[in-house]
Structure 1
Amino acid sequence: MEPGGLEWLLVPMQQLVSWGAAGAMVFGGVVPYIPQYRDIRRTQNAEGFSTYVCLVLLVANILRILFWFGRRFESPLLWQSIIMIITMLLMLKLCTEIRVSNELNVKRRSFAAADSKDEEIKAPPKRSYLDFDLNYFWHWSKFTDYVQCVLTFTGVTGYITYLWLDSSLFVETLGFLAVFTEAMLGVPQLYRNYQNRSTEGMSIKMVLMWTSGDTFKTVYFILNQAPFQFSICGLLQVFVDIAILLQVYLYSHYPQKPVSHTAHPASTKAL
């Protein structure tokens, strides 16, 4: 058979592989949050999930979208950011509703335990984005406050980007900040493990999922010649994942001291 005779089969196969890789990039980052969302909704308890993860990913992906206007990159990476922003907003909505509801229930239980008939049940104080109180930043009472904050950040950074779009230095710095912010998402977990001298409560399967996902992303960036910021920060993410894996091994085989804090679930990191 002539070499050209297999082209009719190889070309569609290559296209399917390309589509599969692109689909994995678009939706792979949000996959860990699906069971997290379902678990929070089922237990009506959001204490194990830090909404600051949502903040970091929202900032990172908004900056990445703005970077796209200055330097066009692969469409799957753009769609990945859009899907991640929608996912984080859904997580914020669920966590806010459950947190506010639980705070009210605690008030009711305290009132019932006091067995007081003269006092009224007071709802927890409402905290708003428009209060501009830094003590309660990103800990507001309504989901709409988070939306207002995200829209404000998007509007301000979008306007600044529009003004400086012709500056290659600004555009490249914007791209670096976007991917570097996301790359640092695993560092708090790394530091928390170091403080506790333990990784108790972390799932080794989840850490392996982090490593495989970040490795896949980095290879994808390199093969598709994505902007260099993506490849550098992808490698940084892989190094952080490997460091956490080393912590899991060291602290499980050579325990340092009893755990003094409860570690957050490992599923709060994006792939």
Structure 2
Amino acid sequence: MSILSTLAGIGMAVGPPLIYADQAYSIVKKKDSSGFSHDVCGVLLIANTVRVFFWLGNRFETPLLIQSLLLIVSQLILLAICLHYKPLNSENELNYAPLSPLPNSPNPGHSRQDSNSDYLNQPHISENNNENLKNLKGFKGLFIGGNGKRPFEFWQWEGYGNYLEFLAGLILFLGILQIILGKWNWYIDSLGFIALTIESTLPIPQFISNFRRKTCYGFRSSTLAGWFFGDAYKTVYFFLRGSPFQFKVTAIMTLCWDSAVLAQRVIYGAKAPNEASSQYSAPAQQEESRGLRANDERQFSIS
């Protein structure tokens, strides 16, 4: 039984950080981090930093502490990769297709072959699609502000150093609070709930990204499988090992969000954004083309 317990602890410590190895390899291979929300890195970095301070007041199992430290290191590496291969228009557009036929219109995600392209060669955006874009932007505004920017542009910074400065400030702030309030149980328990509640929101940024683009392109199936089965494993592990109550509650919440992202993968698939957008705009184009044909037939009959 002790051997099984040791193996389970090793799996708990090493498994979650290894989930993101394939995601990082895929980004480097394609030289494109679009489709993977680097907010995921932010959630894990903040949650596990707080969890380390939670350990100082409530010495939970060592494998969980090692897991947090390895996750911090792995997410710092993954964040650097995401920023290095981040498309310039990833925060400004909902897809890669240009919305303007002008030759000088900036759109790094689309290469124009010549300046003779006309409006007919561009993806058609019907009124229904425009309305859908407005709705999606409104949904996006619920999470990152109505103008597309978060307060203080949080976790939307350009330089990698800005993220490191934020994490250093967070560690300093938590260190001061630990010195002042670390002897109080209510503060330590609050740290546990804060850390694990933040971690339970891990799939939400990816869920929003998939919803906006109507595709799971760029988000590795291996990462999704690691989320779902890993969180299922953690949930069982927490209950069997008698881990603190905070771990059990947040594990169940995270598993529910994993299921939502899994449903998106089944519904949307993993097509490139331009292919997915054309798929969703096809019914509107067919409806409009039928209306144009009907108008032509009526004009012909009148003449």
Q: What TM-score comes out, normalization by structure 2 length?
A: 0.62
Residue identity in the other structure for 2:156: H
Q: Is the 8 A contact 1:186 1:237 kept in 2?
A: yes
- Tell me which residue corresponds to 2:257: 240
The counterpart of 1:30, out of the listed 17, 31, 37, is 17
Residue identity in the other structure for 2:23: Q
**Residues 95-154 of structure 1 deviation map (CA, whole Å, 9 limit, x = unaligned):** 333449999xx99xx9xx9xxxxxxxxxxxxxxxxxxx9554333343233212111111
Residue identity in the other structure for 2:10: G
**Are 1:215 and 2:232 matched, yes or no?**
yes
- Tell me which residue corresponds to 1:144: 161
The counterpart of 1:180, out of the listed 194, 197, 201, is 197
CA drift of 1:25 comes to 0.8
* Percent of aligned pairs sharing the same letter: 32
Q: Is the 8 A contact 1:97 1:142 kept in 2?
A: no
What is the alpha-carbon distance in structure 2 between the residues aligned to residue 45 and residue 61 of structure 1? 26
Change (3 A) 1:243 1:38: closer
Q: Is the 8 A contact 1:214 1:234 kept in 2?
A: yes
**Are 1:78 and 2:65 matched, yes or no?**
yes
What is the alpha-carbon distance in structure 1 between the residues aligned to residue 278 and residue 238 of structure 2? 37
Residue identity in the other structure for 1:142: G
Q: Is the 8 A contact 1:200 1:259 kept in 2?
A: no
Change (3 A) 1:204 1:81: closer
Q: Is the 8 A contact 2:32 2:87 kept in 1?
A: no
* Root-mean-square deviation over aligned CA pairs: 3.7
Three-state SS of the structure 2 residue aligned to 1:31 is helix
What is the alpha-carbon distance in structure 1 between the residues aligned to residue 209 and residue 17 of structure 2? 23
Mean CA deviation greater in 224-233 or 159-168:
159-168
Q: Is the 8 A contact 1:45 1:99 kept in 2?
A: yes
- Tell me which residue corresponds to 1:89: 76
Residue identity in the other structure for 1:221: F
What is the alpha-carbon distance in structure 1 between the residues aligned to residue 194 and residue 222 of structure 2? 29
Q: Is the 8 A contact 1:100 1:141 kept in 2?
A: no
Change (3 A) 1:53 1:241: closer
What is the alpha-carbon distance in structure 2 between the residues aligned to residue 182 and residue 163 of structure 1? 25
Change (3 A) 1:138 1:247: closer
- Tell me which residue corresponds to 2:49: 62
Residue identity in the other structure for 2:251: G
What is the alpha-carbon distance in structure 2 between the residues aligned to residue 51 and residue 44 of structure 1? 15
The counterpart of 1:45, out of the listed 21, 24, 32, is 32
Q: Is the 8 A contact 1:184 1:237 kept in 2?
A: yes
**Residues 26-84 of structure 1 deviation map (CA, whole Å, 9 limit, x = unaligned):** 11112221111112222222223322111111110001000011111000000000000
Three-state SS of the structure 2 residue aligned to 1:49 is coil
Residue identity in the other structure for 2:30: T
Structure possessing the higher radius of gyration over alpha carbons: 2
**Are 1:225 and 2:237 matched, yes or no?**
no
CA drift of 1:200 comes to 5.3
Q: How does 1:182-197 map to 2 (within 5 A)?
A: 182-191=199-208
Q: Is the 8 A contact 1:65 1:78 kept in 2?
A: yes
**Residues 182-229 of structure 1 deviation map (CA, whole Å, 9 limit, x = unaligned):** 111113444556677x66546666544422211110111112211110
Runs of 5+ unmatched residues, structure 2: 91-106, 115-149, 270-274, 280-303
Three-state SS of the structure 2 residue aligned to 1:29 is helix
What is the alpha-carbon distance in structure 2 between the residues aligned to residue 165 and residue 35 of structure 1? 38
CA drift of 1:174 comes to 0.9
Change (3 A) 1:261 1:148: farther
What is the alpha-carbon distance in structure 2 between the residues aligned to residue 172 and residue 27 of structure 1? 25
